[in-house]
Copies of this chain bind each other. A is one copy, B any other.
Amino acid sequence: MKYCSTCGHPVEQRIPQGDNRHRYVCVSCETIHYQNPRIVAGTVPVWEGRILLCRRAIEPRYGYWTLPAGFMENAETTIEAAARETREEALAEVNIDGLYTIIDVPHINQVHMFYRATLIDGTFGAGEESLETQLFDLDDIPWDEISFPTVRKTLELYLEDLRSESFQVHVSDIRYSIKDRK
């Protein structure tokens, strides 16, 4: 951020009065521009014991398999966002079965939320951001080609919970050291 989105003048980084963090503050109109984490919402879409994955047609991680998920939009709920992303990326309508994972990813200012979901009629396809979509048997998950750590963690938990036949909500975080981020 270099300019004030309210008046167009430059911003500077300083700690506003009564605050304890550096913020972007306009040198002219003094508007404080807060920056906050974004929510990525998605589903674990299941049909007849198999999990629907999407192969990414966009960067980052082009060609890797993912659960359908994306940035939550204004004016929608987390459930609506998760269902919309599933519709857009996998052309699948789902019933939401319950919240499943919340995974904080603080080094990129994101919170990932996945809901368990069931396809309503088993139909699906490849949306614009997917090269292909496929139902995977639990023994055939393409572990070597999973797109993101939060997707991997959610799938791992899902398989564990399926074995114990007990689905809980899991809250966790994924952090990288600078070394990891090479």
Contacts and interface: CB of A to CB of B under 8 A. Distances in A.
Given A37-B39, A99-B169, A111-B78, A5 B2 contact: yes
A106 B71 CA distance: 14
Interface string A122-149: 0000001000000000000000000000
A33 B107 CA distance: 21
A21 interface: yes
A8 B28 CA distance: 13
A164 interface: no
A71 to B, nearest CB: 6
Interface string A82-104: 00000000000000001100101
A35 interface: yes
A102 B98 CA distance: 12
Contacts of A104: 77-79
A34 to B, nearest CB: 7
Given A5-B33, A37-B76, A80-B106, 17 more contacts: A1-B6, A2-B5, A3-B4, A5-B11, A8-B9, A18-B128, A36-B71, A36-B74, A37-B74, A74-B106, A74-B109, A75-B106, A75-B107, A77-B104, A78-B102, A78-B171, A79-B171
